[in-house]
């Protein structure tokens, strides 16, 4: 919840809240749960940080919904799984490749075109949206260290970078002359992205969390007051897992949803 004093600070009315979703990975149940949660919290704008497909059993549904959101003005960027629908990538593990081969068969031409045509980055105000990181978006680098986050932050003029890709929520921040630090955010605490710092927020995954919390992860950002709130939404994991099994996808893809790893 955004505390009341912060809300009433804005003389031009209520702040504009943007719900941001990363790594939905064809998980319809998780996506719907996050959307409902975000709307309940007052989100009116939406942004999607890529990897709409892969791993899960509902690629068509997710792509169609996100395409509708983009029609309505939402920002959408491309992830490595989205790109791999058109151009298969060699450096993916076997079950990711198996899921993508399956996904390719399930998508129609319009859905494939939508994924192939997505931009790598999008900007809004002082915020950069990108799937992996800003230094070289096509390399899909996993940010696992402060130095990698710092390289990404130094390569953009934008004060705030918001990304996904690693499926675990992290918040890096730095001042121009100091190395960057990492913070592991908890759900439902509004964090002021203070002006003296540059920030790189990595959101957890909607459709396949890997921080040992199985609930779907997303975030709500109020860019006028620079308040970022990481959120979690519990969802019907059994149903999502059952569909993955029924589709004949690798067993690990359903099993890991229960434990969030």
Least distance in Å: CB of 196 to other proteins?
A: 5
Residue with Cβ nearer other proteins (10 or 258):
10
Q: From CA 197, how far away is CA 210, in angstroms rounded?
A: 28
Q: From CA 67, how far away is CA 165, in angstroms rounded?
A: 20
Judged by the rule CB under 8 A, the positions of this chain that interact with other proteins are 3, 5-6, 8-11, 171, 173, 175, 178, 181, 183, 185-186, 189-192, 194-197, 224-226
Least distance in Å: CB of 158 to other proteins?
A: 14
At 14, list the tokens. Answer: 């209520």
At 121, list the tokens. Answer: 């980055």
> What values do phi and psi take at 252, rounded to 5?
-60, -30
Least distance in Å: CB of 191 to other proteins?
A: 6
Residue with Cβ nearer other proteins (183 or 258):
183
Alpha helices in 16-118 (DSSP H): 28-40, 59-71, 80-86, 94-106, 109-116
Least distance in Å: CB of 227 to other proteins?
A: 9
At 131, list the tokens. Answer: 């799937």
Least distance in Å: CB of 189 to other proteins?
A: 4
Least distance in Å: CB of 194 to other proteins?
A: 4
Q: Is residue 29 within 8 Å of residue 236, measured between CB atoms?
A: yes
Residue with Cβ nearer other proteins (11 or 40):
11
Q: From CA 181, how far away is CA 175, in angstroms rounded?
A: 10
Residue with Cβ nearer other proteins (133 or 223):
223
Residue with tokens 């990711």: 96
Distances (CA, A) of 138 to 118, 128, 135: 12, 15, 9
Residue with Cβ nearer other proteins (155 or 181):
181
Q: Which residues contact 73 (CB under 8 A, 6 or more apart)?
A: 45
At 44, list the tokens. Answer: 């009116």
Least distance in Å: CB of 144 to other proteins?
A: 18
Residue with Cβ nearer other proteins (181 or 252):
181
Q: Put the strands of the sheet holding 17-21 in their side by side order.
A: 75-76, 45-48, 17-21, 216-222, 227-233, 190-192
Residue with Cβ nearer other proteins (9 or 116):
9
């Amino acid at each position: 919840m955004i505390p009341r004093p912060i809300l009433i600070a804005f003389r031009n009315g209520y702040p504009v809240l943007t719900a941001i979703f990363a790594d939905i990975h064809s998980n319809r149940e998780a996506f719907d749960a996050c959307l409902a949660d975000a709307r309940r919290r007052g989100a009116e704008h939406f942004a999607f940080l890529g990897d709409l497909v892969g791993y899960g059993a509902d690629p068509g549904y997710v792509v169609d919904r996100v395409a509708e959101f983009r029609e309505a003005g939402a920002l959408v960027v491309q992830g490595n799984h989205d790109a791999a629908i058109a151009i298969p990538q060699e450096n993916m593990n076997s079950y990711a490749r198996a899921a993508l081969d399956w996904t390719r068969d399930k998508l129609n031409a319009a859905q494939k075109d939508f994924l192939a045509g997505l931009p790598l980055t999008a900007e809004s105000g002082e915020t950069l949206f990108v799937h992996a990181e800003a230094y070289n978006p096509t390399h899909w680098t996993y940010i696992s260290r402060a130095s990698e986050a710092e390289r990404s932050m130094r390569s953009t003029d934008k004060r705030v970078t918001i990304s996904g890709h690693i499926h675990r929520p992290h918040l890096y921040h730095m001042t121009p002359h100091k190395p960057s630090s990492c913070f592991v955010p908890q759900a439902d605490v509004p964090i002021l992205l203070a002006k003296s710092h540059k920030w790189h927020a990595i959101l957890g995954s909607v459709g396949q969390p890997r921080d040992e919390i199985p609930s779907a992860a997303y975030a709500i950002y109020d860019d006028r007051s620079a308040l970022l709130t990481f959120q979690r939404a519990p969802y019907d994991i059994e149903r999502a897992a059952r569909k993955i099994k029924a589709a004949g996808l690798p067993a690990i893809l359903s099993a890991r949803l229960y434990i969030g790893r």
